[in-house]
Copies of this chain bind each other. A is one copy, B any other.
Amino acid sequence: MNDLKRKILSAVETDLHDIEKALSDNLNPYLDLVSAVAGHLLFSGGKRLRPLLMVLAARLCGYSGDYEKTFSTALEYLHTATLLHDDLVDEAAMRRGKKVAHATWGNSITVLVGDYLLARALSISAGTGSLRVVQVLAKLTENMSQGEVHQLMRKGDVKLSEDEYMEVIRRKTAMLFEAACQVSAIISDAPEEKEKALAEYGYNLGIAFQMADDLFDYTLQTADFGKEVGADLREGKLTLPVIYALKQARSDDRQLMIKIIQDNEFATEDFKTLIGYLEKYGGIEYTQERATTYIETAKAALSIFNPSPTRQTMLDIADYALARRV
């Protein structure tokens, strides 16, 4: 574990403990099977980043109520619901080092438990007493599902542009980070400028976080990653490292890359060849640079808040989004 991670974990230890407890206390189904399926993914070592950001952002806004940890579960339930449905979509075999839920319980149960979590998230957010909060989260859910549809529509298309990639990750990832931070400001009755600043922090962090995730598919080993390296490509999911390298590549190299990309059953050797091209044409480096810029923007957005341990933790989390290895 690196120093930054250790520093963050020590600062948020109590919060993470409370969030973990709230996640288990508020799941609340009448069927044990629903607990089992939801719990399989929900309690499989997720980072709790979204609820944690929500709790920290509320603290930064001086929130004085006692609902923020319960409410933070809505963000994790929503996230888990999309993972359950997305794993089905992706036909992925592993998530966080475990077999995906639908491999054990089948597609049907998995879809329905995802629906349950989604509904539970909205119920819990209604508990804030704020209609705006519900509106933000319902609109977010509309956007997330459309982002996934968009990604599926463009599956395997080597002509996918950087703009379209940005549109997809904006909806499927960044908006959830944005919402997590924004709703904290709303429940804290924070002034508009603080709400905007937190939304900006969350949004830019979310973009960078997804870019880093997309990089991991080319820079990590399966054992560290908790899911199969190369899975994105095998599913026809073209991400920024590939999109950029394809654009920069010489025509003959480009053809070779496309051949590997379009071969669903590519060999490990081919995958290594592709990574070589991503490095040669700067796809890895470019993605790292873009992600770094988004992180800088995220951090700058917090400058309207006075220095505090909470603000520092949020700045550290932003740095960690790129420094992490999972």
Partner of A119, one of B108, B138, B150: B138
Residues in B with CB closer than 8 Å to A89 are 107-108, 111-112
Contacting A112 at CB < 8 Å: which of B112, B131, B148? Answer: B148
Contact B118 A115 (CB under 8 A): yes
Assuming the contacts A138-B123, A138-B126, asked whether A115 and B30 have C-beta atoms less than 8 A apart, the reply is no
CB < 8 Å: which of B126, B138, B149 contacts A109?
A: B149
Ordered by A's residue number, 21 sampled pairs between the chains whose C-beta atoms are within 8 Å are: A29-B142, A31-B146, A31-B149, A31-B153, A33-B149, A33-B153, A34-B146, A82-B115, A89-B111, A89-B112, A112-B145, A112-B149, A115-B118, A115-B141, A119-B138, A119-B139, A119-B142, A120-B142, A122-B134, A122-B141, A131-B131
The 4 A-B pairs at the shortest CB distance, nearest first, are namely A119-B141, A89-B108, A115-B145, A123-B138
Tell me whether A152 is interfacial, beta carbon within 8 Å: yes
Q: Is the Cβ of A138 less than 8 Å from the Cβ of B116? A: no
Q: Give the residues from 111 to 144 in chain A that come closer than 8 angstroms, CB to CB, to chain B.
A: 111-116, 118-120, 122-123, 126, 129, 131, 134-135, 138-142, 144
Which DSSP category, helix, strand, loop or mixed, fits chain A's interface? Answer: helix
- Show the binding face of A for B, using Cβ within 8 Å: 29-31, 33-34, 82, 85, 88-89, 107-109, 111-116, 118-120, 122-123, 126, 129, 131, 134-135, 138-142, 144-146, 148-150, 152-153
In the complex the two chains form, what is the Cα distance from A141 to B122 in whole Å? 10
Contacts of A142 in B (CB 8 A): 29, 116, 119-120, 123
Query: In the complex, how many angstroms separate the beta carbon of A201 from the nearest chain B beta carbon?
Result: 24
A143 to chain B, nearest CB (A): 8
Complex contacts, A122 vs chain B, CB 8 Å: 122, 134, 138, 141
Shortest CB–CB separation between residue A105 and chain B, in angstroms?
Answer: 9
